[in-house]
């Protein structure tokens, strides 16, 4: 198979973790006999520096003409005082929209080797395996109008949370379809006691659920869901929620399973899927060679599964990551006395070794 992929390494630790993810991708493609065609393009702060646009037209067209996009991270304090449309994050939001990637899948799984890395007691967190399905193109992230207006001292800021029935319906279907292949539970998270958007959300999700009688649907307010996520994380299967709630809950889920650095994501629904680790650009540790590349590496696994239906190859990467952790390899975010930290490239090399030791059945 020809795997035509655009790589956007972006800012901060983006390039370091993406480099390891690409090495693993090359190795899996190699052992499975797939042909790789990679092109690298700028996004975020890197693109702002180069051409004062966080998402240059050339980057968009490269993404749209490939089969999948692998992204590192965007965000840099150098642009904190730029107007909204000239911030690195604006490039990522526009990319998601250009790709039509409305469903963002963020699995949070506790690797058995990492029970002692969670801030929660091992008996509480053992067996945690949830999938957050975050709506990615609506809500306050994209709603109009938005502005800061007025004179200094009495300015007013406005954001608009907006959802159409069609937007809720399509992402709900993704969540129910995925739940069918898992433990058949969907928890829809909203704030229906306060927000109109959430009341419509709940109504539409309940309606969609009638098409999936085998899936058990529950509803929870976001505040109480946040509490339950740390009290009883193992009870969650699929969490379906709107854009901003999903952004927040997914970082929390990263904390629960030991480190945000482990979390991968797939943004699907359009012609071209977008794959990125959930962690951001982490400017404080950028360039030090200590970032955790496993979220980026696991994002490659999600790419193989969702964009190319290469389940065997995806599992090969996931098993390699799990084996590497079981052997005690840890980056700084996960290091303990018994398992001192190794570098970004060293853990990448260990995953690569594990991949090569267990070529998939399709090889």
d(CA 38, CA 35): 10
Q: For residue 116, indicate whether it is catalytic.
A: no
Catalytic residue among 4, 221, 251, 311: 251
# residues contacting ligand IPM (CB under 6 A): 7
**Per-residue contact string for residues 129-158; x = within reach of ligand IPM by CB under 6 A:** ------------------------------
Q: Which is nearer to ligand IPM, 174 or 263 (CB)?
A: 263
DSSP bridge partners of 241: 134, 189
d(CA 331, CA 279): 14
Angle, alpha carbons 327-331-332 (nearest 5°): 135
- Which residue from 11, 53, 89, 242 is in contact with ligand IPM, where contact means CB under 6 A? 89
Catalytic residue among 53, 190, 247, 333: 247
Q: How far is the CB of 8 from ligand IPM (least distance, A)?
A: 13
Q: For residue 190, indicate whether it is catalytic.
A: no
Residue 43 vs residues 71, 75, 137, 274, 316: alpha-carbon distances, Å: 9, 10, 19, 13, 29
Assign 3-state DSSP to the chain and report helix, strand, coil percentages, each to 5: 50, 20, 35
Catalytic residue among 53, 191, 212, 306: 191
Residue 92 binds what, of ligand IPM, Mg ion, none (CB under 5 to 8 Å, by partner type)? Answer: ligand IPM
Q: Who contacts 277 (Cβ-Cβ below 8 Å, separation ≥6)?
A: 17, 72, 73, 261, 263, 264, 265, 295, 296, 298, 299
Catalytic residue among 11, 41, 141, 306: 141
- Which residue from 92, 99, 120, 249 is in contact with ligand IPM, where contact means CB under 6 A? 92
Interacting residues toward Mg ion by CB under 5 A:
247
Q: Which is nearer to Mg ion, 115 or 242 (CB)?
A: 242
Q: How far is the CB of 187 from ligand IPM (least distance, A)?
A: 19
Q: Which is nearer to ligand IPM, 130 or 208 (CB)?
A: 130
Q: Which is nearer to ligand IPM, 70 or 74 (CB)?
A: 74
User: In this structure, are residues 28 and 304 in contact, taking their beta carbons and an 8 Å threshold?
Assistant: yes
Name the residue whose CB lies closest to ligand IPM. 89
d(CA 286, CA 12): 5
Q: Which is nearer to ligand IPM, 14 or 348 (CB)?
A: 14
Q: For residue 223, indicate whether it is catalytic.
A: yes
Q: How far is the CB of 303 from ligand IPM (least distance, A)?
A: 16
Residue 41: which of 24, 61, 27, 21 has the closest Cα? 61
Q: How far is the CB of 278 from ligand IPM (least distance, A)?
A: 6
d(CA 128, CA 322): 15
Q: Is 280 in the site for ligand IPM (CB under 6 A)?
A: yes
Q: Is 75 in the site for ligand IPM (CB under 6 A)?
A: yes
For residue 339, which phi and psi values (nearest 5 degrees)? -130, 85
Q: For residue 247, indicate whether it is catalytic.
A: yes
Q: For residue 169, indicate whether it is catalytic.
A: no
Residue 313 binds what, of ligand IPM, Mg ion, none (CB under 5 to 8 Å, by partner type)? Answer: none
DSSP assignment of 195-241: -HHHHHHHHHHHHHHTT-TTSEEEEEEHHHHHHHHHH-GGG-SEEEE
* Catalytic residue ranges: 141, 191, 223, 247, 251
Where do contacts with ligand IPM occur on this chain (CB under 6 A)? Answer: 74-75, 89, 92, 247, 278, 280
């Amino acid at each position: 198979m020809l795997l035509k992929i655009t790589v956007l390494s972006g800012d901060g630790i983006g390039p370091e973790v993406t480099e390891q993810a690409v090495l693993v991708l090359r190795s899996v493609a190699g052992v499975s006999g797939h042909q790789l065609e990679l092109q690298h393009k700028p996004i975020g702060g890197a693109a702002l520096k180069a051409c004062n646009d966080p998402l240059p037209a050339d980057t968009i067209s490269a993404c749209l003409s490939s089969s999948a996009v692998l992204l590192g991270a965007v965000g840099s304090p150098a642009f904190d005082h730029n107007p909204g449309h000239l911030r690195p994050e604006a490039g990522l939001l526009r990319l998601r929209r250009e790709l039509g990637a409305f469903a963002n899948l963020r699995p949070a799984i506790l690797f058995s080797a990492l029970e002692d890395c969670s801030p929660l007691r091992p008996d509480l967190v053992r067996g945690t395996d949830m999938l957050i399905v975050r709506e990615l193109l609506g809500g306050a992230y994209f709603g109009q109008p938005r502005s800061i207006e007025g004179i200094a001292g009495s300015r007013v800021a406005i954001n608009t949370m907006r959802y159409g029935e069609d937007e809720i319906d399509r992402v709900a279907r993704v969540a129910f379809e995925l739940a069918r292949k898992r433990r058949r539970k969907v928890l829809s998270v909203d704030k229906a006691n306060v927000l109109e958007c959430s009341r419509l959300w709940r109504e539409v999700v309940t309606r969609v659920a009638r098409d999936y009688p085998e899936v058990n649907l529950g509803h929870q307010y976001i505040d109480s869901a946040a509490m339950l996520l740390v009290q009883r994380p193992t009870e969650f299967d699929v969490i379906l929620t709107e854009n901003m709630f999903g952004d927040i809950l997914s970082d929390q889920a990263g904390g629960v399973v030991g480190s945000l650095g482990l979390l991968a994501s797939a943004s699907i629904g359009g012609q071209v899927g977008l794959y990125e680790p959930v962690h951001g650009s982490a400017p404080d540790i950028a360039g030090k060679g200590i970032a955790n590349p496993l979220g980026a590496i696991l994002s490659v696994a999600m790419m193989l599964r969702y964009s190319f239906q290469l389940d065997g190859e995806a599992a090969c990467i996931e098993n390699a990551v799990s084996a590497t952790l079981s052997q005690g390899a840890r980056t700084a975010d996960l290091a303990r006395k018994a398992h001192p930290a190794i570098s970004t490239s060293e853990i990448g090399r260990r995953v690569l070794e594990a991949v090569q030791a267990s070529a998939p059945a399709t090889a």
